């Protein structure tokens, strides 16, 4: 199992903001990258992970669809993903393994989107996703372009931090932490 270190904001901001390069050939190093991404994602409490988050600036992400149904699928690789069409923007949940314990319900993301990508065998496919899966794909494609979810937060948006209380974990507005 190859669980990689996830880059963190703000410490690694310069690396997280670097744009990723298109994958030209799906060869053994790309297959290893996909395996590392899957292993790292499964070892962490997230639904997606982009190659730049482990310091590799290639256009590869892994996602776990099915959050809306409560039955998350196994990680699926999207190589060179391109968003083809987007639905209207809506506010929704966003969090990131590169910003642990920080989340929001205010990020502006498409309520549905249609994208094209290559699978692990290099076959091109198109897919339409909606709801949380749409947020997930949009979030991970953003990582490939050096965009963080903080960049999608409107001026009146609120960030939350997960803290441990006597009653268990609780989300607290970040601006209330002193």
CA 24 to chain centroid, in Å, comes to 22
- Report the pLDDT value the prediction gives residue 50, as an integer from 0 to 100: 98
Quickly state the pLDDT bin for 168 (edges 50, 70, 90).
confident
Quickly state the pLDDT bin for 165 (edges 50, 70, 90).
confident
- Report the pLDDT value the prediction gives residue 13, as an integer from 0 to 100: 97
CB 132 within 8 A of CB 100: no
Q: Which of 71, 73, 85, 140 is catalytic?
A: 140
Q: Considering the entire predicted model, what is its pTM?
A: 0.94
The Cα–Cα gap between 81 and 60 comes to: 8
- Report the pLDDT value the prediction gives residue 176, as an integer from 0 to 100: 66
CB 129 within 8 A of CB 73: no
- Known catalytic membership, residue 5: no
In the chain the domains, ranked by start, together with CATH numbers, are 13-176 (3.90.45.10)
- Report the pLDDT value the prediction gives residue 70, as an integer from 0 to 100: 82
Handedness of CA 62, 68, 74, 76 (dihedral sign): negative
pLDDT in tens, 130-159: 999 999 999 999 999 999 999 999 988 999
pLDDT in tens, 1-26: 699 999 999 999 999 999 999 999 99
Average pLDDT over residues 151-174: 89
CB 170 within 8 A of CB 103: no
Average pLDDT over residues 124-131: 97
- Report the pLDDT value the prediction gives residue 46, as an integer from 0 to 100: 93
- Report the pLDDT value the prediction gives residue 28, as an integer from 0 to 100: 97
Mean pLDDT of the chain: 95
């Amino acid at each position: 199992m190859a669980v990689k270190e996830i880059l963190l904001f703000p410490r690694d901001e310069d690396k997280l903001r670097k744009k990723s390069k298109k994958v030209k050939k799906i060869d053994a190093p790309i297959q290893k990258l996909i395996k590392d991404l899957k292993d790292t994602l499964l070892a962490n409490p997230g639904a997606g992970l982009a190659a730049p988050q482990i310091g590799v600036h290639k256009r590869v992400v892994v996602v776990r669809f099915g959050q809306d149904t409560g039955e998350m699928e196994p990680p699926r690789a999207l190589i060179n993903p391109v968003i083809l069409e987007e639905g209207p923007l809506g506010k929704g949940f966003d969090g990131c393994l590169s910003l642990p314990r920080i989340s929001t319900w205010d990020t502006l993301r498409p309520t549905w989107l249609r994208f094209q990508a290559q699978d692990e065998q290099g076959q091109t496919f198109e897919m339409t996703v909606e709801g949380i899966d749409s947020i997930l794909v949009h979030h991970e494609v953003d990582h490939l372009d050096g965009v963080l979810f903080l960049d999608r937060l409107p001026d009146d948006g609120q960030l939350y931090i997960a803290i441990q209380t006597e009653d268990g974990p609780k989300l607290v507005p970040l601006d209330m932490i002193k």
